[in-house]
Structure 1
Amino acid sequence: MLEEIRIRGLGVIDDAALALAAGLTVVSGETGAGKTMIVQGLGLLAGGRADYGLVRPGVERAFVEGRLVIPVDSAVAKRVRDVGGDLDDDPGGAVLVVGRTLTSEGRSRAQVAGRSVPASLLAEIAEDLIAVHGQSEAQRLLRPSTQRAALDRFAGAAVAEPLARYAVVYAELNRTARALAEVTERSREREQEAELLRIGLAEVERVEPAPGEDVALAAELTKLEHAETLVRSARTAHAALLSDPASGSDDPGAVDLVSVARRVIAGDSDLDADLADLGARLTEVGMLLADVAADLASYAESIDADPERLADTQDRKAALTGLTRAHGTDIDGVLAWADQAGRRLLELDGAGESAEILTARRDELTAELAGLAVTVSEARSAAAARFGESVAAELAGLAMPRARVEAVVAQRDDPAGLPVGDRRVAFGPAGVDDVELRLIPHPGAPARPVQKGASGGELSRVMLAIEVVLAADDAGSTMVFDEVDAGVGGRAAVEIGRRLARLARTHQVICITHLPQVAAFADRHLVVHKADDGSVTRSGVITLDDAGRVRELSRMLAGQEESTLARGHAEELLAAAAADKAQP
């Protein structure tokens, strides 16, 4: 229960506090006195959207604080403790203080039990504590999506449980459909890429290059192309080292000359050790020159000037060059490309398999979603009949005894929709159903959408009836009604007051009203007055005693507090309301 609300710097309210109580609290006052700001403040405490334009001109921030008493062992109390909030002790339970601050610069801050929290957490905590039913909320209830949500709330777990699973499957189906569309759209590009890779890999496979083969082949080709030159050089060098009588030349070679020098030294080497060392070195040089001469002879013999081998080598080099031009700077680069291309080709070939997998998964999810949609739709249809009966019962108590409200659950055909039975129907995150509330004001009248088939007064009563039906499971919470009686008067106004008073037996009800017939049913009546400077201060919110209530109802009836006729009528209204409330 909300015990007190304090508002500072919000609209016309400078600094005001409202002491609230159980039962029905009515707030009245002249037009523009600030009653709407009270509703706005309550909406902020409930985690509603922040309107920074409400910050009072000339002040830096607006502040709203509420003091609630909640059961010590309630789920709300546990949630507050979970976020580290402090709850004070109270004879009636635990005291929870919540607040909301708005700055003129456009910043918002929420507080729960002494801790700063996101506004979303404040909304979560306040959801089961405060429900604000204003004219804007009533207008939102006219939207098809809101009407569907209202029916779902009335239906409870019968809709909530399959709808929760439906939402999960719906999200997964969307992801799968997007992935499949992407795979399908890129299939041609993948096929083209795969075909180019296959051609390239087939060429590499045909040539079968070996690592480093291009380097080795280049060296061999150079040797084959200059075979005669290489043979001539080797033989000339051989002749310079070692004389060959077969060549027709008697000139000694380097080996012969070194041998002569060695023999000369050897003859006198026993005369001096140093000379003997030089002789030994000449022996080594002679042996080395002889080995080189032999290697030159072998090299000259090994050179192959075969034209066929030269042609084959040139052809092989051309094939390798073609690969390097297409796929790399050298053969090692070509082999690296082939390895990467093979892996990429496996990925591309697997993409076709992915499309098949995604298609199968899409079909599986579609079938599951269709089954869940049917379950949700059937639960909605079953709840719709009960919902209409409950609203009609409320309307009977609001001076519309012959009116009925129908909740019509229907689907729209869509060729690209969800297959349900032998139809394809439009679907979305909330299922396949369109829900429309229709009013039958009296027997024989056609059923029309409530926004088209109801007058202003009837619409207010229909909205109140729906809100009361939806609140049936929220016993103990605080319900705020902002001029829900707009557009009605006379007997209908009395019935609205009576219904609010009965609702206040199980709820704390706060009603902003301009109708004396409604105000007469209040358990506590607050009146808002503006000061001379146009602001509402703490002294501007007054809790009326019995005499004050008579004066205020007189003003609401006739605009004159001291009118004898109006005072008599006000006293009659209060007496009638008291008698009605005394009935069980």
Structure 2
Amino acid sequence: MLEEVRIRGLGVIADATLPLGPGLTVVTGETGAGKTMVVAGLSLLFGARSDSGQVSRGAEAADVEGTLIVDPDGPAAARCRDAGGTLDDDRLILSRTVSTEGRSRASAGGRSVPVGVLSDIGDSELTVHGQSTQLRLSRPGAQREVLDRFGGAAHQSLLADYAEAFTAWQRAVRTLDELRRDDAGRQRELALLRFGLDQIYRADPQPAEDDEIDAETHRLANAEALRQAVAHAAAAIDGAPGEYDATGADALLGQAARTLAESGDAQLRVLGERLSEVGIQLRDIAGELSAFAGGISDDPDRLAALMTRRAELKELVRSYSSTGDIAGVLAWAQQARGQIASLDDSAGRLEQLEADRDAAAERAERAAAAVTRSRRALAARLQKQVSAALGSLALGGSRVLVEVTDRPAEPGRPVLGRDRSARGATETGCDRVRILLGHGADDEGRPIDKSASGGELSRIMLAIEVVLAGTDPVATMVFDEVDAGVGGAAAIEIGRRLAGLSRSHQVVVVTHLPQVAAYADQHVKIAKRAKGGVIASGITPLDPEQRLDELTRMLAGLSDSDSGRAHARELLSAADHDKKRRKAR
């Protein structure tokens, strides 16, 4: 519930405070005094779109600050805490500032927050009904929302179940579609992987085979040079006539070792032993050189075969190795086998996803059917109760019809059911809801936007709000001149209905009708004042005498009219008596 709202620099309001309390608060004033700015300020405070044109001339910014009394455990308090704000006991302070440059700032609970947070808080705390609301009521979506609000918690639970089922179904549909779109690419990737593995399988490369081929190819291509190198090395080790001395390195090492061993010196004996070890290694090398020489071949057929094999392996390396060798080819083959196993599994996954989609669709269809049954039952009750209220609102002989029909299936849009039972599906269900206005018992009704005037729409909206009052969790309702085009007995009935609504909600009404204002629990007046050559509007709570003056002005056009004053006193007395009588029931 709103406790107080301060408005600064908004339109014609320079700086004014709107005190609010429980029950019915009525806002009156002459045309152009700024009543609309009160509603605009409340709307801004709860996240409405800002407009720099609303800022007062000469002001740098418009500012609205409001104090709410909220349930500390309710949704508004929870949203405030989620955004980092705090409450002072059960009081929540909101603010909204709009600059002349169009910049907008918001705060909740002393913390700067996105404007959307104010809107979220407003969802549970306040609703505004005015000409724009009446226009929205002309749209099927808004009419569906009215019916769903009427359903209360039990119906909201069905809607939540359906919304969850619809979301899961659409997620399954998207996942399946994405997999199907990717299937062609999957098949191409599989073909490339299998082609590469087939090439590698047929070539059958072995680890380090490329290094071995390079070594053998080098020997075959350089056989004669290698033989000469081996011969020269062997002659140097073993000794041979010709270029080297007859005595080879082996003999010389042996002679040196013996000389040192026979020297009688311990240190030289150690060196002689080390020379003996070198001699052993030298003889081993000589043996290996002999074996190497025996394996040297200059077979041209073998060389040609090795060159062919090396070209084959190099092609594999070029195509599949990231490391430039056969090890990289073998690593690619191992990875490819894993990818093929994963991609082959996609066919089974496709079948599973199809099953998941069908199961999710069945669940959504069952949930949608439950919502439809609930809406049709609610429609019968809502039209009966709203129609009963219209007679006393100068719409006698008229009745409201609430029609719930299947949403037709449309190409390219979600559809639940098959064949004749197929229905278009949205996140709100598979139904189209229309509120029709019929004149007379036999009139089948026409859409309210085509058969109701602006004043009639206002009264239909008021009748609906009165019926919804018991199920609407919103604490504060604001009505902006919903009594347009109404007078006489109908005006009194509107006041009576608003007063009845204020027993379960805080109701703020901007009105020009004295019959409505007479039912107020709090009456505030907006009036223009001149100060320093500047004209601005102020807000004044009216005491009983001032209230009588204002009602007289509204009735007779002059606050000092004797006949108007008598009529105003009579109007106040009748309204007060009516409220007491209804409260006693």
| 1:128 CA displacement | 4.5
**Residue by residue, what CA displacement relative to the aligned partner does 1:299-329 show, whole Å, maximum 9, x if unpaired?**
3323234455444433332321221222222
Counterpart in the other structure of 1:301: 294
Letter in 2 for 1:498: R
Q: How far apart, in 2, do the equivalents of 1:116 and 1:266 lie?
A: 96
Whether 1:98 and 2:93 are equivalent positions in the alignment is yes
TM superposition shift of 1:375: 0.9
Moved more, 373-382 or 390-399: 390-399
* Distance in 1 of aligned mates of 2:494 and 2:255: 145
Aligned residue runs from structure 1 range 516-555, under 5 A: 516-532=514-530, 533=533, 535-536=535-536, 538=538, 540-546=539-545, 548-555=546-553
Which deviates more from structure 2 when the two are superposed, residues 513-522 or residues 212-221? Answer: 513-522
Please give the secondary structure, in 1, of the residue aligned with 2:393.
coil
Q: Are residues 1:150 and 2:137 paired? A: no
Q: 1:535 to 1:357 in 2, by over 3 A?
A: farther
Q: What is the match of residue 373 of structure 1?
A: 368
Equivalent positions of 1:21-420 (< 5 A) are 21-68=21-68, 85-87=86-88, 96-104=91-99, 105=101, 106-112=103-109, 119-125=115-121, 127-235=123-231, 238=234, 254-256=245-247, 295-328=288-321, 329-414=324-409, 416=411, 417-420=414-417
Q: Quick one: which amino acid aligns to residue 245 of structure 2?
A: A
Indicate yes or no: 2:24 matched with 1:6.
no
Contact persistence 1:71–1:77 (CA under 8 A): yes
Would the alpha carbon gap of residues 410 and 225 (structure 1) be closer, same or farther in structure 2, given more than 3 Å must change?
A: same
Structure 1 residues 284 and 77, CA, compared in 2 at 3 Å: closer, same or farther?
closer
Distance 2:250 2:243 in 1: 10
Higher mean C-alpha displacement, 13-22 vs 450-459: 13-22
TM-score (norm 2): 0.84
CA distance in 1, matches of 2:78, 2:421: 47
Judged with a 3 Å threshold, the aligned counterparts in structure 2 of structure 1 residues 535 and 300 are, in CA distance, closer, same or farther, namely: same
- Give the whole-Å Cα distance in 1 for the aligned partners of 2:308 and 2:482: 96
Change (3 A) 1:237 1:401: same
How far 1:61 sits from its partner (Å)? 3.7
Tell me the CA shift for residue 273 of structure 1: 8.3
Conserved 8 A contact 2:5-2:17: yes
Once the two structures are overlaid, the 10-residue window that deviates more, 353-362 or 446-455, is 353-362
For 1:418, give the aligned amino acid. V
Shift of 1:290: 6.8
Q: Structure 1's 258 and 577: CA in aligned 2 closer, same or farther, altered over 3 A?
A: closer
Deviation, 1:60, is 3.4
CA shift for structure 1 position 6? 2.6
Q: 1:511 Cα deviation (Å)?
A: 1.2
Cα distance, 1:229–1:439 mapped onto 2, change above 3 Å: same
Secondary structure of the 2:430 match is: coil
What is the distance in 1 between the residues matched to 2:259 and 2:523?
Answer: 145
Query: Closer, same or farther in 2 for the Cα pair 1:273/1:8, shift >3 Å?
Result: same
Deviations 1:268-287 (A, max 9, x none): 9999989x999999999998
Contact 1:151 1:384 in 2 (8 A): yes
Q: Partners in 1 of 2:243 and 2:204 — Cα distance?
A: 53
SS in 2 for 1:210: coil
Q: Which moved more, 1:438-447 or 1:479-488?
A: 438-447
Deviation at 1:545, TM superposition (A): 2.5
- Tell me, in whole angstroms, the C-alpha distance in 1 between the residues paired with 2:378 and 2:123: 23
Corresponding residue for residue 91 of structure 1: none
Q: Which moved more, 1:15-24 or 1:377-386?
A: 15-24
Distance 1:284 1:70 in 2: 100
CA contact (8 A) 1:476 1:508 kept: no
CA apart distance, 1:87:
3.7
Deviation at residue 530 of structure 1 after TM alignment = 0.5
**CA pair 279-373 structure 1, distance change in 2 beyond 3 A:** closer
Is the alpha carbon distance of 1:35 and 1:223 closer, same or farther for their aligned partners in structure 2, counting shifts above 3 Å?
Answer: same
Change (3 A) 1:317 1:564: same
Contact 1:327 1:334 in 2 (8 A): yes
Q: Does 1:495 align with 2:483?
A: no
Residue 217 of structure 1 deviates from its aligned partner by 1.0
Comparing 303-312 and 128-137, the one that deviates more = 303-312
Alignment partners' CA distance in 1, 2:499 and 2:376: 32
- The answer to whether the 8 Å contact 2:140/2:432 transfers is yes
The AA in structure 1 aligned to 2:505 is H
Which residue of structure 2 aligns with residue 504 of structure 1?
502
Residue 266 and residue 427 in structure 1: after superposition, are their counterparts in 2 closer, same or farther (change >3 A)?
A: closer
Residue ranges of structure 1 left out of the alignment (5+ in a row): 89-93, 245-249
Residue identity matched to 2:8: R
Query: How big is the shift at 1:45?
Result: 4.0
Distance in 2 (CA, whole Å) between partners of 1:282 and 1:67 is 104
Partner letter of residue 391 of structure 2?
Answer: A
Question: Residues 165, 534 of structure 1: CA spacing in aligned structure 2 closer, same or farther, 3 A cutoff?
Answer: farther
SS in 2 for 1:497: helix
Output one character per residue of 1:132-162: Cα deviation in whole Å (capped at 9) or x when no partner.
3222223222221111111111112332112
User: Map of 1:466-505 to 2, 5 A cutoff?
Assistant: 466-474=464-472, 477-505=475-503
TM-score (norm 1): 0.84
Distance 1:58 1:202, change over 3 A: same
CA, structure 1 residues 255+45, in 2 after alignment: closer, same or farther (shift >3 Å)? same
Distance 2:287 2:260 in 1: 29
User: Once superposed, what is the RMSD of the aligned Cα atoms?
Assistant: 3.9
Provide the rounded CA distance (Å) in 1 between the counterparts of 2:243 and 2:9.
Answer: 123
Q: Is the 8 A contact 2:237 2:250 kept in 1?
A: no
Alignment partners' CA distance in 1, 2:567 and 2:258: 161
Relative to structure 1, the CA distance from residue 226 to residue 120 in structure 2 (aligned partners, 3 Å threshold; closer, same or farther) is closer
Determine if contact 2:80/2:117 at 8 Å carries over to the other structure.
no
1:48 Cα offset (Å) = 4.0
Structure label with greater radius of gyration: 1
